[in-house]
């Protein structure tokens, strides 16, 4: 996502570097390149026009600032305009003064609503809320049980009509203790209402309503979503849109805006190879902010959308703030300090190594983590090679070792290597490689920390 846009934009801006003064022609040429980059990324034409006009006007009128050279000034302007296009300030969820807060999800079938319900539930729980997910997608076969599965994964309860009750059919007692009395499983409005009543009775403070989508826009879909909105009066209606559908995202958003109305946008599938135009157009065209972004199928592939951080990533300036936040969530400071002390002493064990690796991996796929570093755009090819499966194998090998072997890898002789390889389903040469590299790395890290004056070696050298 955004890779080629990012390449093109940084390329266009790089040409300005080293120029003491920018002529109008320089600015026009750069603006032309930025325009092409945006169009290629599938950003809608009116949005591109507005963006370019803003940049030209500001760049030509820019005062020469003492701190920035002209090229940096243009980068600063492009960055600010990108932030503006992406929505300016980060838009947070508006929680109701009197709980429960009601969040309704709407969008086309396959946009990722049900998956999002689980992610949102998980996120809300992390923020200290007690969410309840309500299954009102009663059309897509399997949608209710899919919501139950994501709810279970997130550890968030799901309110759903019992499977098997038809329109007007009698209601059987639901599993998990849910008994939506008097609710026909074919009536999403009634299920939504019953879900909210349940939340009030059981003191859940947020209700997330999953609704049905269709493959395309149609009247029936709009009417049903509008009926649910009318009946539940949600605090937030989130329009969920697949970033991969490109320009169609804009027209779908416009139709939903007219038919149902929404307060915010959630972009999904940002992990795909979409060109990013949807992200850059939807907010501008509908006037509604992007509130969340989803970038994978796992619960944790989800975050609040920060326009400034996204702009910074697009311009190859990295997203160190998000990286720090993720690290803070998953980092165990004491464990990290203990490991650092052992590194300087040259005493790191494979057990420590495994713990550190697990801690880092909790932050998400390694490629994503590294991708947040400044300059990651230039390492794209290397990042694409990073394979989490290889890390899985390393983990499996270490797990196949006995505690004594992990504490003291020196005892891992040939017969132990064979046993470990067989136990963890890899070849002996993979075990050899891991053990050898571990020793090399341990030696190198101890030397480096010594040279930098941190460890005992440093003190000896001093
Ligand atoms: P719904 O019909 O709107 O409820 O869509 P679903 O939640 O069932 O999602 C449709 C498909 O997209 C499923 O296979 C999801 O696993 C997948 N999906 C949802 N969000 C993402 C995402 O951010 N990235 C990727 N790669 N897949 C996603």
* pLDDT-wise least confident of 82-96, 171-185, 371-385, 428-442: 171-185
SS (H, E, C) 262-320: CCEEEEECCCCCCCCHHHHHHHHHHCCCEEEEECCCCCCCEEECCHHHHHHHHCCCCCH
Whole-number percent of the chain with pLDDT over 70? 84
Q: What is the mean predicted confidence (pLDDT) over 153-168?
A: 71
pTM of the model: 0.71
Instruction: Give the residue with greater pLDDT, 354 vs 274.
Output: 354
pLDDT of the residue at 216: 73
* pLDDT-wise least confident of 27-31, 181-185, 273-277: 181-185
In the predicted model, is pLDDT for residue 93 greater than 60?
yes
Digit-coded pLDDT (tens) for 288-342:
999 999 989 999 899 999 998 888 878 877 666 666 677 767 767 777 777 777 7
142 Cα: distance to centroid of ligand 1 (angstroms): 14
* CB of residue 213 inside a 6 A radius of ligand 1: yes
Spatial strand order of the sheet with 101-106 comes to 158-159, 131-136, 206-211, 101-106, 236-242, 264-268, 290-294, 302-304
Burial class of residue 275, CB neighbours in 10 A (0-12, 13-18, 19+): buried
* pLDDT-wise least confident of 170-179, 227-236, 441-450: 170-179
pLDDT of the residue at 177: 38
Digit-coded pLDDT (tens) for 275-285:
778 777 888 88
* CB of residue 365 inside a 6 A radius of ligand 1: no
- Quickly list DSSP for 361-418: HTTS-HHHHHHTSTTGGGGHHHHHH--HHHHHHHHHHHHTS-HHHHH-GGG--HHHHH
Domain annotation for the chain: domains and CATH numbers: 3-85 (1.20.120.140), 101-316 (3.40.50.300), 327-461 (1.10.260.30)
* pLDDT-wise least confident of 277-286, 387-396, 400-409, 448-457: 448-457
Digit-coded pLDDT (tens) for 430-461:
999 999 888 888 887 777 766 655 544 433 33
Contact 292, 302 (CB under 8 A): yes
In the predicted model, is pLDDT for residue 170 greater than 50?
no
Nearest CA to ligand 1 atom 9: 112
261 annotated as belonging to a binding site for a ligand: no
pLDDT of the residue at 320: 63
Contacts 24+ apart (CB under 8 A), 398-402: 398/350, 398/351, 398/353, 398/354, 398/434, 399/354, 399/424, 400/424, 401/350
* Strand, coil or helix: 209: strand
Instruction: Return d(Cα 293, Cα 243) in angstroms, integer.
Output: 10
Q: What is the mean predicted confidence (pLDDT) over 92-110?
A: 94
316 Cα: distance to centroid of ligand 1 (angstroms): 28
Instruction: Give the residue with greater pLDDT, 161 vs 176.
Output: 161
Q: Which atom of ligand 1 is nearest to the CA of 294?
A: 23
Q: What is the mean predicted confidence (pLDDT) over 102-107?
A: 96
Q: What is the mean predicted confidence (pLDDT) over 153-166?
A: 76
* pLDDT-wise least confident of 187-201, 212-226, 368-382, 432-446: 368-382
In the predicted model, is pLDDT for residue 411 greater than 50?
yes
* CB of residue 345 inside a 6 A radius of ligand 1: no
Per-residue confidence at 91, pLDDT binned at 50, 70, 90?
very high
In the predicted model, is pLDDT for residue 117 greater than 60?
yes
From 105, 115, 121, mutation site for ligand 1 pocket: most ligand atoms within 8 A of C-beta: 115
| Average pLDDT value over all residues in the chain | 82
pLDDT of the residue at 379: 62
pLDDT of the residue at 220: 83
């Amino acid at each position: 996502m955004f890779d080629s846009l990012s390449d093109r934009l940084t390329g266009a801006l790089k040409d300005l570097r080293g120029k003491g003064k920018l002529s109008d022609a320089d600015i026009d040429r750069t603006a032309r390149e930025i325009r092409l980059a945006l169009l290629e990324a599938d950003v809608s034409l009116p949005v591109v026009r507005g963006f370019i006009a803003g940049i030209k006007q500001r760049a030509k009128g820019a005062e020469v600032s003492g701190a920035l050279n002209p090229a940096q000034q243009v980068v600063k302007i492009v960055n600010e305009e990108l932030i503006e296009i992406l929505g300016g300030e980060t838009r947070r969820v508006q929680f109701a003064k009197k709980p429960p807060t009601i969040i309704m999800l709407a969008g086309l079938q396959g946009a990722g609503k049900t998956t999002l319900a689980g992610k949102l539930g998980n996120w809300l729980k992390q923020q200290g809320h007690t969410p309840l997910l309500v299954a009102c997608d009663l059309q897509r076969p399997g949608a209710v049980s899919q919501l139950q599965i994501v709810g279970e994964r997130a550890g968030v309860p799901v309110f759903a009509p019992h499977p098997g009750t038809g329109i007007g059919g009698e209601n059987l007692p639901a599993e998990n203790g849910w008994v939506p009395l008097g609710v026909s499983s074919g009536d999403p409005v009634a299920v939504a209402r019953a879900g909210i009543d349940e939340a009030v009775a059981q003191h859940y403070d947020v209700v997330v309503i999953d609704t049905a989508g269709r493959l395309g826009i149609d009247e029936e879909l709009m009417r049903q979503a509008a009926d649910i909105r009318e009946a539940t009066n949600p605090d937030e209606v989130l329009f969920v849109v697949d970033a991969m559908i490109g320009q169609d995202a804009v027209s779908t958003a416009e139709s939903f805006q007219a038919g149902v109305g929404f307060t915010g946008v959630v972009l999904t599938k940002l992990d795909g190879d979409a060109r990013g135009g949807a992200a850059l157009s939807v907010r501008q065209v509908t006037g509604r902010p992007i509130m969340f972004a989803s970038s994978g199928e796992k619960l944790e592939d989800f975050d609040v959308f920060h326009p400034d951080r996204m702009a910074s990533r697009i311009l190859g300036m990295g997203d160190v703030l998000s990286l720090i936040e993720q690290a803070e969530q998953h980092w165990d400071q004491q464990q990290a300090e203990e490991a650092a002390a052992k590194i300087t002493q040259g005493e790191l064990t494979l057990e420590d190594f495994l713990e550190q690796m697990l801690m880092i991996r909790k932050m998400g796929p390694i490629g994503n983590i590294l991708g947040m570093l400044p300059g990651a755009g230039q390492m794209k090819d290397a990042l694409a090679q990073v394979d989490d499966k290889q890390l899985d194998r390393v983990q499996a090998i270490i797990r196949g070792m006995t505690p004594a072997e992990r504490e003291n890898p020196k005892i891992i002789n040939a017969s132990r290597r064979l046993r470990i390889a067989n136990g963890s389903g890899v070849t002996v040469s993979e075990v050899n490689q891991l053990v050898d590299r571990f020793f090399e790395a341990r030696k190198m890290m101890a030397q480096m920390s010594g040279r930098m004056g941190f460890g005992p070696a440093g003190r000896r050298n001093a």
